Amino acid sequence: MEASALGRRRRRGWRRAPAAGSPLTRAAVVLLLSAFVARATPSVGYLIRLPRSFHLTQDTVKIVGSSNFPVKVYVMLHQKSPHVLCVTPRLRNSEMIDPSFQWHGPRGKIISENSTAQVTSTGSLIFQNFEEGMSGVYTCFLEYKPTVEEIVKNLQLKYVIYAYREPHYYYQFTARYHAAPCNSIYNISFEKKLLQILSKLVLDLSCEVSLLKSECHRVKMQRAGLQNELFFTFSVSSLDTEKGPKPCTDHSCESSKRLSKAKNLIERFFNQQIEVLGRRAEPLPEIYYIEGTLQMVWINRCFPGYGMNTLKHPKCPECCVICSPGSYNPRDGTHCLQCNSSLAFGAKACV
C-alpha cells in the first residue's frame, strides 16, 4: 500500500491556505467550526460486463476450445456468460457433417432445458446468471464427420470456467485535530458532527463514510509542552452492491469515478478548514484540524474466497477470481477461504 501525504509540511497550528472549493464544502466547514467555537451539549448508518483490464476483441464473447489444453473462461458473478463453443479454431471454419454435442460440468450432464445453463443447437454453452457454484471444469464431447464418406470422429474439449467479482474499492483517510481534554464529552460530540458532515458531502455520489478508529492522545510538542490530539481514521466506499441495483448505468457513474470525486471533495473540505481558520479574527476554537495531517490510502481488496493472480489469470489480471473452481459447496454455502493475490498496486488480498 502506498500512502500519499496530502501536505508537505505538518504544522501544529493554522495559517491561511489558498484553496478553491464549492459552496457545499465551504458551508460544511463553517458549520463544523461554528458548532464547536463554544462548548455545547452533545447531540444524541462476455453482452456481458467485462473487467476494466479485459480488452474486448472480436472473439471475446465467443470462446473456442483447444484439443491440447483446457481453456480458461471468466464470467462476472450474477451475469450472463460468453458463448462457450464446442469447436477448435480450425473446426470453427470447417464443415461438420451430423455434429453431436454433449456437455458435462461439475454437477454432471448438462441438458438444453436447464434453467441456468443453455446448450444451443450448434453446441454452444451459455449461462444466464452465473453463480459461484457453477465454477469448475466443463467438458464437451463432440462427434462429427468431416465429409459424408469419412468415419465419425470424436473430440473432447475442456474448459475451466471461473466466477469473478470486481474488487472492493475504498479510500482510507487519517487526520488529526487539536482536541479538548481526552476525557471531555466535547470530543465525542465533535466526532459525530464531523462524520455527519463528511457523509453529507459524498451522499449525492452514492458513497458512504465509515469511522474505523478514533483515539485521543496527549502529544509532547517539539520544544513545547503537551497538547491533546484526536486521531481519526475513516473510510470512503461506494454504496454499490453486486446483487443490488446500481445508482446509474452511465460510464461516469462507475464506482472508481464516484470514489475519486468523493476523495476530491474530502480533500477540499480539509483544505478549506485551514482557509476558514486563517480568516478568523476570534481566538481559535478548542477543536480544530491540524494542517498537513490528512493522509490517504487507496485500497483494492477482494472478497473472501476470491483473489488476484496475474500469473495464473493473465487475461483477467485485475479480476477477483474465485480461488478454486469446484470447491464451492452448495449445501452449506462454503468455499475456499484463502488464495494467492497479486500485490502489484494498492492492497489486494482475500480477507
Same-domain check for residues 132 and 201: no
Q: Express as a percent the part of the chain with pLDDT over 90.
A: 48
Same-domain check for residues 84 and 157: yes
Residue 266: which H helix or E strand, with range? helix 255-278
CATH (domain of 217): 3.30.70
Same-domain check for residues 310 and 273: no
Same-domain check for residues 213 and 289: yes
Quickly tell me which residue has 487539536 as its cell: 178
pLDDT at 211: 95
For the stretch 259-295, pLDDT in tens is 999 999 999 999 999 998 888 767 888 999 999 999 9
Q: Is residue 30 part of a domain?
A: no
CB 294 within 8 A of CB 267: yes
Q: Is residue 278 part of a domain?
A: yes
Same-domain check for residues 68 and 126: yes
Sequential DSSP letters for 38-53: S--PPP--------TT
For 73, other C-beta atoms within 10 Å of its C-beta total 21
Q: Is residue 196 part of a domain?
A: yes
Quickly tell me which residue has 459424408 as its cell: 148
Under the banding of pLDDT at 50, 70 and 90, the label for residue 140 is very high
Under the banding of pLDDT at 50, 70 and 90, the label for residue 46 is very low
CB 164 within 8 A of CB 215: no
pTM of the model: 0.58
For residue 183, pLDDT beyond 50: yes
Question: Count of residues for the chain?
Answer: 351
CATH (domain of 84): 2.60.40.10
What residues make up the domain containing 286? 168-239+256-301
**Average pLDDT of the segment spanning 324-343:** 44
Q: Is residue 246 part of a domain?
A: no
Same-domain check for residues 200 and 278: yes
Looking at 165, 191, 221, the residue that finishes a domain is 165
Same-domain check for residues 161 and 183: no
Question: What domain count does the chain have?
Answer: 3
β strands within 221-316, DSSP E: 226-238, 288-289, 295-301, 306-307
Same-domain check for residues 148 and 217: no
Lowest mean pLDDT among 39-53, 54-68, 168-182, 252-266: 39-53
Looking at 301, 319, 335, the residue that finishes a domain is 301
Lowest mean pLDDT among 11-20, 236-245, 314-323: 11-20
For residue 128, pLDDT beyond 50: yes
**Between residues 317 and 189, the one the model is more confident about:** 189
Under the banding of pLDDT at 50, 70 and 90, the label for residue 304 is confident
Q: Is residue 54 part of a domain?
A: no
For residue 186, pLDDT beyond 70: yes
Under the banding of pLDDT at 50, 70 and 90, the label for residue 316 is confident
Q: Is residue 317 part of a domain?
A: yes
Same-domain check for residues 89 and 190: no
Sign of torsion over alpha carbons 125, 129, 130, 132: negative
β strands within the chain, DSSP E: 3-5, 62-63, 71-76, 83-84, 97-105, 108-110, 117-119, 125-127, 136-145, 153-165, 168-178, 207-220, 226-238, 288-289, 295-301, 306-307, 320-322
Same-domain check for residues 83 and 143: yes
Q: Is residue 7 part of a domain?
A: no
Under the banding of pLDDT at 50, 70 and 90, the label for residue 232 is very high
Same-domain check for residues 74 and 198: no
Same-domain check for residues 161 and 172: no
Q: Is residue 9 part of a domain?
A: no
